[in-house]
């Protein structure tokens, strides 16, 4: 696939007013989510829940792509249609998480490296045949006493770039996700410093490994105070620091930046994105790639009961609509007060 074709898919994923739904929770993560509503994490329950989200009326106006888990891309909807085909039929690009998770980095206490490069080329070929048109790989960077180290940043940046190059070789748009965690008591200034160093290292590796920047999407953290920091930065400061960092680190050739929510509340993630877009225009699309921050209200409304499907879909559609509005800086707190009819 040419760089131009990859660029076209990337732009579809982060088209104006749209973002990406992260529905790629691992078996362990989805079980934890289901535990909160006392629902059993069976294959059928997982399929029902995700199909419920994917078939919600009107979300194609706000969702340009969906990241799937290995199990999900192999599942079929109730009517027999593969879930990837179901999304494609709605004009939503199906994607797939391909990393094998963050594991302890040798000789680096408190730091991790994401595994999954072995056998990746063959897996990518299979995922393309199953309908995926983009991929996702998450690297995790911790802030702490003496952390992150240059060693951990370089090791993760190198792996991200190898993954991205292999994805493009196989006709898949890579979502490159370097996440500087908000865990800890660090200040927003410390987050900025760690994020800038990480993002610069990632783009240095992407350049060295010949990744076509116009055919990728960046999925970074926002620049936030650590969640245990006594002084929490306000919405406007988060927006200003995040945009400042991106302008220093991210080449204009990158079509879109789809933020992860990273432990923020649903409303905070939307408000921060809205404030950034209100500061625009920007060289790239500033979009979202949220998991829990899009799904949490719908999960609660569903409660594991098929009878609540309609209500859960209305709640999910509303969350998508709020984030769609944040894409143009037109979201307001008043939108949160809209009554969702049962």
Q: Which tens digits make up the pLDDT trace of 6-55?
A: 999 999 999 999 999 999 999 999 999 999 999 999 999 999 999 999 99
Q: Please, are residues 222 and 262 in contact by the beta-carbon 8 Å criterion?
A: yes
Q: Please, are residues 302 and 308 in contact by the beta-carbon 8 Å criterion?
A: yes
pLDDT over threshold 70, residue 169:
yes
pLDDT (mean) for 58-79: 98
Backbone angle region of 170, left / alpha / beta, with phi > 0 → left and psi within -120 to 50 → alpha: alpha
Confidence (pTM): 0.97
Burial class (CB in 10 A: 0-12, 13-18, 19+), 210: exposed
Determine the pLDDT at residue 338. 81
Kindly indicate the confidence band of residue 342, based on its pLDDT and cuts at 50, 70 and 90. very low
Element (H, E) at 249: helix 235-249
Burial class (CB in 10 A: 0-12, 13-18, 19+), 126: middle
d(CA 338, CA 13): 27
Kindly indicate the confidence band of residue 339, based on its pLDDT and cuts at 50, 70 and 90. low
Structure token digits, residue 43: 């294959």
d(CA 229, CA 213): 35
Strand partners, 19: 63
Least Cα distance to 234 among 272, 265, 201 occurs for: 272
CA distance readout (Å), 301 to 3, 58, 71, 316, 333: 42, 18, 24, 9, 21
Domains contained in the chain, CATH given: 3-336 (3.20.20.70)
Determine the pLDDT at residue 341. 46
Structure token digits, residue 222: 């926002």
pLDDT over threshold 50, residue 164:
yes
Q: Please, are residues 232 and 213 in contact by the beta-carbon 8 Å criterion?
A: no
Planar angle of CA 18, 84, 7, nearest 5 degrees:
50
Q: Which tens digits make up the pLDDT trace of 222-243?
A: 999 999 999 999 999 999 999 9
pLDDT over threshold 60, residue 340:
no
Active-site amino acid positions: 177, 219
Q: Please, are residues 98 and 163 in contact by the beta-carbon 8 Å criterion?
A: yes
Q: Which tens digits make up the pLDDT trace of 101-156?
A: 999 999 999 999 999 999 999 999 999 999 999 999 999 999 999 999 999 999 99
């Amino acid at each position: 696939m040419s760089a131009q074709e990859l660029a076209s898919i990337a732009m579809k994923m982060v088209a104006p007013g749209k973002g990406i739904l992260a529905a790629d929770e691992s078996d362990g993560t989805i079980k934890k989510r289901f535990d909160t509503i006392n629902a059993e994490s069976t294959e059928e329950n997982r399929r029902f829940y995700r199909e419920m989200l994917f078939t919600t009326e009107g979300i194609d106006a706000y969702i340009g792509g969906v990241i799937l888990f290995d199990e999900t891309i192999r599942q079929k909807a109730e009517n027999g249609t593969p879930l990837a085909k179901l999304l494609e039929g709605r004009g939503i690009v199906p994607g797939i998480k391909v990393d094998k998770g963050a594991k302890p980095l040798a000789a680096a206490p408190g730091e991790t490296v994401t595994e999954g490069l072995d056998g990746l080329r063959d897996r990518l070929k299979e995922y393309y045949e199953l309908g995926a048109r983009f991929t996702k790989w998450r690297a995790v960077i911790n802030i702490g006493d003496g952390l992150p180290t240059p060693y951990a940043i370089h090791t993760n940046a190198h792996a991200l770039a190898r993954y991205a190059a292999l994805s493009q070789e196989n006709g898949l748009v890579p979502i490159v996700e370097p996440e500087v965690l908000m865990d800890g008591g660090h200040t927003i200034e410390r987050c900025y410093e760690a994020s800038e160093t990480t993002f610069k290292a990632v783009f240095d590796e992407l350049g060295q490994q010949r990744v076509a920047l116009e055919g990728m999407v960046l999925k970074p953290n926002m620049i936030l105070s650590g969640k245990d920091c006594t002084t929490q930065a306000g919405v406007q400061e988060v927006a200003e620091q995040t945009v400042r960092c991106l302008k220093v680190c991210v080449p204009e050739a990158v079509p879109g930046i789809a933020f992860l929510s990273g432990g923020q509340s649903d409303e905070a993630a939307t408000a921060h994105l809205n404030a950034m877009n209100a500061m625009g225009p920007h060289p790239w699309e500033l979009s979202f790639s949220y998991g829990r921050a899009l799904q949490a209200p719908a999960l609660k409304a569903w409660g594991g009961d098929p009878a609540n499907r309609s209500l859960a879909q209305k709640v999910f559609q509303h969350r998508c609509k709020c984030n769609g509005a944040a894409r143009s800086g037109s979201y307001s707190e008043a939108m949160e007060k809209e009554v969702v009819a049962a």
